[in-house]
Amino acid sequence: MSSRFAGLTPLLAPRSVAVLGASSDPTRISGRPIAYMKSQGFQGGLYPINPNRTEIQGLKAYASINDVPEVPDVAIVAVASEVAAAAVEDLGKKGVKAIVMFTAGFAEMDDAGAVAQDKMVATARSYGMRILGPNCLGVFDARRSYYATFSSSFDSGWPVPGRIGIASQSGAYGTHLYTLARNRGIGASTCIMTGNEADVTVGECIGWLAENEDVDVIAVYAEGIREAPGLIAALEAARAARKPVVMQKVGRSELGTKAAKSHTASIAGDDAVTEAIMNEFGVFRASNSEQMLDIAHTATRKIYPVKNTLGVITVSGGAGVLISDVAETLGLSMPEMPMDAQKRLRALVPFCAPRNPVDATAQVSNDVSLVKTFTESMIRDGGYSSVLGFFSMTASSRRWPSIKEQLNAVKEENPGHLYVLSVIVPPEGRDELETDGWVVHEDPTRAVVAIDAMGRFGAAFAKPAGAPAPTVPAVTLPAVTPTEAEAKRLLATAGIASAPEAECTDAEAAVAAAAKFGFPVVMKILSPDILHKSEIGGVLLDVSDAAGVREGFALLLQRAKSAAPTARIEGVLVAKQLKGGVECIMGIMQDPVFGPIAMFGLGGIFVEILKDVVFRRCPFGPDVAEEMIRSIKGAPLLLGARGRNKADVKALADTLSRLSAFAVAAGPKLASIDINPVFAMPEGEGAFAVDAVVEVGD
């Protein structure tokens, strides 16, 4: 493996293994790896290290790593935390390339443990050595009989050979997933558990699996992402290799509570950001472990329709209705069979329902040849990329061998489709069907979810590279958070337009500005200390004459003084009032892991309540921006629903992509941006920032 992640190969696929603190007891933490690898026939060197033993589990034991006759690729460290640092130093001097550290008592404990952990990692890096853990359950690869783990899951059986790789931040849950897979007969030969992630991260493990020729599908359990570049590179590698990633992401803490000044941050939280990253790279977010294994197992067939359509053959009309409901909820297309095909099938069985789902009825038990006729018509006439057969208990009937023969004949004559069966059979019957090339799910709802996921993977793999982000000039942020007018001038350097406006320090200047723009106008208090002006009554709409401007000027100053007596007041902003546009919101939040994240949604005061918003990592081009705009539930309001004028979506997308480029150019000193509202004017008339807050951080 020659790539970005090849440096993990000595850790995850070693040729030789040392075990520090090795035990003669095969049931102890430091004895299990040796017992497992011996019983499964690990072909490399296996070196127990224990100064108090000359022999361990039938192997020669060594007093120290220096006595080992070769340099092992990896060392399993199972010693007390007080001596772990010294062990790392000794391993580095020996030239060992990687460590699997079972030892706990570091950052998961307290600040002192975190300091000790950092020092240990620094030592390892000084020798070019990688650490998995500490406080981890290790790794196993059944193909190589490599078991650098003390999991007790192997007491009840060994992995089913297969091409699913698991990466988990939790050791106990990682082996839980593996055990669930094994018990269902699903092949998951590799499992990596990252523990504290002091060095090796779950993202890097995903990357290594993406580049591993023995792995086709990657299943991930993640609690939180702490390192972005490795994860981004890994997901890019997986997509390039057409390897599906299905992730169970848990934890929904809200970063927004720490950044209440920003609408974007308060809506997002780290879970929404992580989900945006998953969406960007076509990762399927599983809602539970059962669903994750369903999807991962289905994906091992390596059939990912770009334009997925589902054809269903069933012996139950009720099941057909259920399947149709699930497909519609997911957005999985189930086109009708062509009318001429329906007529031909109805001529064979007058009481059948050949529309799609195609209900062949229980008549197939009397004439099994109908199974082939109906299913073949679905594929050749209907042209469905995915086929689901619901046969339930029929698979346990005396007619099933003949029905199965008919189904297999159709599949063999029409390769390239995704074939799934919802049947109730014993494990040996399931295994036979799987060997024949079917994916078996007892529950039809779960089958439809998995089929839909295959289409989502296909669309992600086929998606072309996006257009480049706009080029914007270098951005120099002020030392402190600017006023609204100053914020708009900053954004204007990136090509983000705003409505005509003027900063006015007295009432007569405000009247003159209003006369220039034409009535009605909008008036706002101008202060770098009052970011959300509407909350204090600091915005006046529909000011229609000079007298109203004068009164409004005085009223705004009075409200500002009353609500924020210590705020710096720089005057009043008078702006042309735009009419006929759709209010939207755009924003930027600075995520501590992924950097600037853009948000888009419909604007107004209800955005934080409805949360009909979408997020994306910056920067991106106008094509991605338009995709974001069209993805929200309220998009029809922009696209001309119910006789409305179409909004200028192209101009809106250009503005959003320019905002994403501005955020990157501004650098980490940028804390957040809120543009609320942005007016999307009727098609061809542009998009304009009406209010803008650019918050400057440390």
Per DSSP (E only), the strands in 547-691 are 571-576, 582-591, 595-602, 613-617, 670-680, 687-689
Predicted confidence (pLDDT) per residue in 205-214, tens digit: 999 999 999 9
- The residue-averaged pLDDT of 109-115 equals 92
679/651 Cα distance (integer angstroms): 10
> How high is the pLDDT of residue 606?
60
Average pLDDT over residues 104-114: 92
> Quick one: pLDDT band at residue 271, thresholds 50, 70, 90?
confident
Res 350 pLDDT > 80: yes
CA–CA gap between residue 696 and residue 698 (Å, rounded):
7
Helix (H, G, I), strand (E, B) or coil at 380: helix
- Report which DSSP code applies to 65: G
CATH 3.40.50.261 in the chain, residue ranges: 301-462
Q: Is the bond preceding residue 48 a cis peptide, omega within 30 degrees?
A: no
Q: Which positions ≥6 away from 394 have C-beta within 8 Å?
A: 315, 364, 365, 400, 403, 423
- Of 332, 303, 311, 312, which Cα lies nearest the Cα of 416? 303
Split at pLDDT 50, 70, 90, the class of 83 is very high
CA distance 289 to 639: 38
DSSP notation for 104-129:
--STTT-HHHHHHHHHHHHHHHHTT-
Question: How far apart, in whole angstroms, are the C-alpha atoms of residue 53 and residue 23?
Answer: 9
pLDDT at 262 over 50: no
**What is the rounded distance in angstroms from the CA atom of residue 376 to the CA atom of residue 409?**
9
DSSP states of 413-437 = HSTTSEEEEEE---HHHHHHHHHTT
Q: Is the pLDDT of residue 622 over 70?
A: yes
**CA nearest 150: which of 57, 259, 345, 19?**
19
**360: closest CA among 376, 381, 384, 340?**
376
CB 389 within 8 A of CB 406: no
C-beta neighbour count of 532 within 10 angstroms: 15
Question: Residue 37: what pLDDT?
Answer: 98
State the number of CA atoms in the 13 A half-sphere of 152 facing the CB.
3
Structure token pair of residue 142: 């059944």
Judge whether 392 and 354 are in contact, CB under 8 Å. no
On whether the CB atoms of residues 297 and 440 are closer than 8 A, the answer is: no
Distance CA 525, CA 508 (A): 16
Superfamily covering domain 500-576 = ATP-grasp fold, A domain (3.30.1490.20)
Rounded to an integer, the average pLDDT of 170-197 is 95
- Residue-averaged pLDDT of the chain: 93
* Residue 485: band (very low, low, confident or very high) from pLDDT cuts 50, 70, 90: very high
> Does residue 432 carry a pLDDT above 60?
yes
- Which is nearest to 494 in space by CA: 617, 358, 654, 291? 654
| Tokens describing residue 682 | 């009727």
* Structure confidence at residue 460 as a pLDDT band (50, 70, 90): very high
Q: Mean of the pLDDT values across residues 165-185?
A: 95
Q: Which two tokens stand for residue 625?
A: 């921006």
* Start-to-end C-alpha separation, the chain: 42
Whether the CA torsion 245, 250, 254, 258 is positive or negative: it is negative
Phi/psi for 507 (5° steps) reads -65, -40
pLDDT confidence of residue 252: 62
pTM > 0.85? yes
Residues of the chain with CATH 3.30.1490.20: 500-576
* pLDDT at residue number 546: 96
- Is the separation of the CB atoms in 451 and 418 below 8 Å? yes
**Mean pLDDT on 276-302:** 97
CATH number attached to the domain at 301-462: 3.40.50.261
Q: Write the DSSP string, 309-346.
A: BEEEEES-HHHHHHHHHHHHHHT-B-PPPPHHHHHHHH
Of 641 and 105, more confident: 105
pLDDT given for residue 491 in this prediction: 97
pLDDT above 70 covers a percentage of the chain that reads 96
In this structure, are residues 683 and 648 in contact, taking their beta carbons and an 8 Å threshold? yes
Cβ-contact 335, 382 below 8 angstroms? yes
Residue 551 has what DSSP assignment?
H
**Alpha helix segments (H runs only) across 71-201:** 81-94, 111-126, 171-183
How many Å apart are CA 188 and CA 182, to the nearest integer? 7
Of 136-140, 267-271, 323-327, 396-400, which range is least confident?
A: 267-271
pLDDT at 226 over 90: no
Distance CA 33, CA 27 (A): 9
CATH for the 582-696 domain, from 3.30.470.20, 3.40.190.10, 3.40.50.300, 3.30.70.360: 3.30.470.20
Residue 580: how many CB atoms within 10 A of its CB? 10
Q: How far is CA 370 from CA 314, 377, 403, 425, in A?
A: 12, 10, 9, 22
Identity at 667, one-letter amino acid code: G
pLDDT category at 267 given cuts 50, 70, 90 is: very low
Beta bridge mates, 140? 147, 191
Task: Tell me which CATH homologous superfamily contains domain 1-137.
Answer: NAD(P)-binding Rossmann-like Domain (3.40.50.720)
How many CB atoms lie under 10 A from the CB of residue 144?
20
Phi, psi of 124 (to 5 degrees): -60, -45
Whether the pLDDT of residue 260 is over 80: the answer is no
Residue 259 scores a pLDDT above 90: no
**Residue scoring higher pLDDT (38 or 531):** 38
User: What's the rounded Cα separation, in Å, for the pair 83 and 652?
Assistant: 60
- Label residue 21 left, alpha or beta by phi (over 0 means left) and psi (-120 to 50 means alpha): left
Place of tokens 């127990």: 48
Q: 430 near 400, Cβ under 8 Å? A: no
Task: Give the confidence band of 605 by pLDDT, cuts at 50, 70, 90.
Answer: low
The stretch 547-557 carries a mean pLDDT of 96
| C-alpha separations of 42 from 6, 38, 143, 144, 147 in Å | 21, 6, 10, 7, 9
Q: Token pair of 387, please?
A: 């086929």
The percent of residues in the chain predicted with pLDDT above 90, rounded, is 85
Please state, in angstroms and rounded to a whole number, the distance separating the CA atoms of residues 96 and 124. Answer: 10
Which residue, chain included where needed, has tokens 């955005």?
607
- Are 55 and 89 a contacting pair, CB within 8 Å? no
Query: 507: pLDDT confidence band, cut at 50, 70 and 90?
Result: very high
Residue 540: strand pairing partners = 523
Confidence of residue 698 (pLDDT cuts 50, 70, 90): confident
